[in-house]
Structure 1
Amino acid sequence: MQEHDGDATGSSWIRRFHPRPDCLARLVCLPPAGQSASFYFSLSDEMTVSIEVLAVQYPGRQDRWSEPHVLTIQDLARKIHAALGTWMDRPLLLFGHGMGALVAFELARRLEREGTVPMVLFPSARAAPSCAAAGFVHLRHDEGIVAHLQAVSGTQSPLPDDAQLLQLMLPAIRDDYRADETYVYEPGSALRCPIIAFVGEDDPTVVAEDVVAWWEHTEGPFELLVVPGGHFFVLTNQSEVVNTISDFFLAPR
């Protein structure tokens, strides 16, 4: 049974599908463009019991579909930081896939400026912030956006078969791509937390060389993991991702 809750102030940003009140840490998961918190439902279920997954729900989808969309990565990070509120009583790990990797990075920056250093940042399927390049998917007509998503998704299409539901989703998908593709990296201090970056070996959206550049954004250790699969390897090879996160957390320090 899925649990839907927020922080003590009633925030609608946080989904806790598998509450673990005795957890030792929390993993904040940021979805890719056009996706909802439920993108991480299965990952949450499989995660070690020591880690409670907090999946972020962006505005403009599912129960938040009527809310105004957040149009920049930095504003998303700012609002999510505020929504985390009382969830910060345990150490935090951050995971972001696609656009979510940029949100996770800006969230980590904000956390560190406020005195909270995440245990680790896991960016997935996204070029490093310093390599971010302008894109144009958000400028396409609806059919063009759908065609792009189908091309990069392979057998793991995030699109519903229901045409009416798809029409409801497209504005949020477009605005997510706008936030991702118009992101401008602002140089600043490197993160203090380690970075472990994932990339699918057959991902058509990003090359390993641009993912390697995440090393520039941390003063701590860096590791690149190439995972079999395409852009949505986090779904097709979920156990490898979960095991990497669990092994990092459980490793002696």
Structure 2
Amino acid sequence: MTSGSAAWEGRAGAFRPLAARPYARARVVLFPHGGGSASYYKPWAAAVPWDLEFVAVQYPGREDRFHEPPPSTIRELAAVLAGDLPFERPLPTVLFGHSMGALTAFEIARRMTVMGVAPARLVVSGHPAPALARPGTVHLGDDDELIEELRRTEATNLDVLDNEALIKTFLPIIRNDYRLSETYTMAPGARLDAAVSVFYGDRDVEIDEQEAHGWADATDGSFDVTVFEGGHFYLDHHRDQVIDLVTAHARAAAAGAAAVPWPSAP
């Protein structure tokens, strides 16, 4: 059984490798923010090292999955994605999720834990701990209010926001993503045993120090926090540093534990 990206050829669904890595020793799975897509992580491709596979997640309802119905909850989204996990490829795995992607990665990590294939590490970015998730009403506002929120958080390219026809096409998906995040509540379930790392910007109004450290309560594993200069999308300005940290975690996972065979797909 190969562990390289060739095994992905012809594979449809959620997981998109950023670059071919036939000798990968570990995998990093990247979950986009609300309103984002797998292509958000394309600029990372040039920095992916030879020994790691970076895979971006494509949510239903966008880009080449545009015609698929969006999920109704974060847990439903996680269930849809988990059904497409690469069970045949036994690589130590690090999950990275930004904003809504942090919650999605957390719910995937819970499912993997129950299945006996827990990730080596969960890296969450720009979102409060699941138990401290903030309710919100942005998804209930009109289109102009939603667009203004996108401008405030810099979540979408300004050229897109200024293109009325284009933004109107994507607003329903963006609104649904806000609804998923703003109505999320942590349900009883598996406690993680994976290490958890939290990244956030020091000017990000979407998360504070207490909410960041609250992630420690989600796991029995180790825990650490890294604070960057910047706002909610600090990672656009500190991309190399973020990739270096994630790379170090993935290489540590590869060195510290033998790969565990994945079970058969449910």
Per the normalisation by structure 1, the TM-score is: 0.91
- Deviations 1:211-252 (Å, cap 9, x if unpaired)? 110000111110000011111111111111111112223346
The alpha carbon displacement at 1:23 in A equals 0.6
Q: Which amino acid aligns with 2:105?
A: A
Number of residues paired by the alignment? 248
Contact residue 198 and residue 225 of structure 2 kept, 8 A:
yes
Alignment partner, residue 185 of structure 2? 184
Q: Which amino acid aligns with 2:226?
A: L
Alpha-carbon distance in structure 2 between the residues aligned to 1:103 and 1:120: 14
Which structure exhibits the higher relative contact order, with contacts defined as CA atoms closer than 8 Å and separated by 6 or more residues?
A: 2
Alpha-carbon distance in structure 2 between the residues aligned to 1:87 and 1:103: 22
Answer yes or no: is 1:53 the counterpart of 2:54: yes
Alpha-carbon distance in structure 1 between the residues aligned to 2:88 and 2:33: 22
Contact residue 19 and residue 48 of structure 2 kept, 8 A:
no
Alpha-carbon distance in structure 1 between the residues aligned to 2:83 and 2:7: 12
Contact residue 36 and residue 61 of structure 1 kept, 8 A:
yes
- Deviations 1:69-96 (Å, cap 9, x if unpaired)? 1121101111111111346421111000
Contact residue 13 and residue 83 of structure 1 kept, 8 A:
yes
Structure 1, gaps ≥5 residues long: none
Question: Within 5 A, what are the aligned runs for 1:162-241?
Answer: 162-241=163-242
Does the C-alpha gap of structure 1 residues 115 and 19 become closer, same or farther in structure 2, counting only changes over 3 Å?
Answer: same
The alpha carbon displacement at 1:206 in A equals 1.5
Contact residue 138 and residue 146 of structure 2 kept, 8 A:
yes
Alpha-carbon distance in structure 2 between the residues aligned to 1:9 and 1:71: 28
Percent of aligned pairs sharing the same letter:
35
Contact residue 100 and residue 181 of structure 2 kept, 8 A:
yes
Structure 2, gaps ≥5 residues long: 257-266
Alpha-carbon distance in structure 1 between the residues aligned to 2:196 and 2:48: 19
The alpha carbon displacement at 1:7 in A equals 5.1
Per the normalisation by structure 2, the TM-score is: 0.87
Contact residue 28 and residue 250 of structure 2 kept, 8 A:
no
Contact residue 6 and residue 13 of structure 1 kept, 8 A:
no
- Deviations 1:177-222 (Å, cap 9, x if unpaired)? 1111111101334201000000111112221210110000111110
Alignment partner, residue 127 of structure 2? 126
Contact residue 138 and residue 145 of structure 1 kept, 8 A:
yes
Alignment partner, residue 140 of structure 1? 141
Alpha-carbon distance in structure 2 between the residues aligned to 1:242 and 1:94: 13
The alpha carbon displacement at 1:6 in A equals 9.4
Contact residue 6 and residue 20 of structure 2 kept, 8 A:
no
Contact residue 60 and residue 69 of structure 1 kept, 8 A:
yes
The alpha carbon displacement at 1:8 in A equals 7.2
Contact residue 30 and residue 103 of structure 1 kept, 8 A:
yes
Q: Which amino acid aligns with 1:11?
A: A
Alignment partner, residue 99 of structure 1? 100
Question: Within 5 A, what are the aligned runs for 1:36-75?
Answer: 36-75=37-76
